[in-house]
Amino acid sequence: MLIRRIVTGIVVGLAWLLGLCYMPGWMLFGVLALMSCVCQNEFYQMMKQNGHPLSRNCGMAMGVAWLFACYAYPPYAARTLPMGHQFESLVLVILVFALLLRVLFDSRIAKPVEHVGVTLLGFFYLPFMLSFFIRLAQWGADEMFEIPCARGGVFLASYLAVVVKLSDVGAFAVGMLVGKHKMFPRISPKKSWEGLAGGILASMGGSVAMIHLAQHCSWLVGGPLQELGLVHALSLGFVLALVGVLGDLVESMFKRATNIKDSGGLLPGMGGILDMFDSLTFSPAVLYFYLAWFVGQTVCA
């Protein structure tokens, strides 16, 4: 079981990094959208198996529409629209209103509040949060439907995946070796405080190494990471590790609430796609806003 988990993790990780490096922008968007759809479908399947009413097709359509809107209008390009930064709010209003109308005019829906709530939870938890992967890949874009060929934003997405997954690996290894003190037994009995410390150290080390590469390797397009010093590299590693653990715990909470061990069975030894992306659910937004706040300012250290 452990060997299958390690082999699957290595294969998926290499495929992900190769895709980020070499796929054309439109294909990269397609892969990200597909992964988001699979994760959202697995979440809805968990909820449905536990008897929660929802509109799977409507929720999935909302997710695809939101991801397409993010791809069509990068943050820089959106500023040229008449509504400027309000464009994203407009898209959200339309999508939520469409769902409410769908429930309103369907007389077969017996629990409209729960129906809307679970459907929206699946939308905001997965495609909305994972759309920040697209935002990272679009860093520096100034035209519609653009993921810059320079790949600075794609390196950001690679950096995020490496740092967060190093936290997973470090936590798993240290927890297996010396983990004794349970961190959150109510939700995830196998996680330990020793494992958390190991994961944070691995994440911080990976962050420093990746930012060092961005600053000193001419063949890499480091983008905004080139402007960050050691303090920011360590801080990002620490924060992303914690957010990754929280993402993992949130999915574990949903699985425990629905009495399901794995979100799916697509990945041998690992479960479903959502089981692989759980620690990456909230971290793209954290990295995006961290860089948006700090890059361009005078960075010390």
| Tokens standing for residue 1 | 């079981």
Average pLDDT over residues 277-283: 91
Alpha helices per DSSP H over 124-192: 129-137, 152-178
Count Cα atoms within 13 angstroms, Cβ side, for 128: 15
Q: DSSP letter at 84?
A: G
Rg of the chain (C-alpha set): 20
Number of Cβ within 10 Å of residue 1's Cβ equals: 7
Structure confidence at residue 231 as a pLDDT band (50, 70, 90): very high
Q: Is the pLDDT of residue 144 over 90?
A: no
- pLDDT above 90 covers a percentage of the chain that reads 44
Of 240, 175, 180, give the one whose Cα is nearest residue 205.
240
222 is a domain residue: yes
249 is a domain residue: yes
Better-scored residue on pLDDT, 2 or 226: 226
300 is a domain residue: no
How many structural domains compose the chain?
1
Q: Residue 100: which region, alpha, beta or left (left: phi > 0; alpha: psi -120 to 50)?
A: alpha
Residue-wise pLDDT for 39-50, tens only, equals 999 999 999 988
Rounded Cα distance between 142 and 29, Å, is 17
Rounded Cα distance between 263 and 253, Å, is 12
Of 173, 167, 248, 247, give the one whose Cα is nearest residue 206.
167
Look at 106-115, 274-283, 292-301 and tell me which has the smallest mean pLDDT.
292-301
| pLDDT at residue number 67 | 94
263 is a domain residue: yes
| Tokens standing for residue 131 | 């759309």
Count Cα atoms within 13 angstroms, Cβ side, for 50: 18
Residue-wise pLDDT for 11-21, tens only, equals 666 666 666 66
| Tokens standing for residue 261 | 């061990």
Residue-wise pLDDT for 236-270, tens only, equals 999 999 999 999 999 999 998 888 877 766 665 56
120 is a domain residue: yes
Average model confidence (pLDDT) across the chain: 83
301 is a domain residue: no
299 is a domain residue: no
Domain hosting residue 183, numbered range? 2-294
| pLDDT at residue number 300 | 34
Q: How far is CA 299 from CA 82, 134, 226, 283, 295, in A?
A: 33, 25, 11, 22, 8
153 is a domain residue: yes
- Chain mean position to CA 213: 23
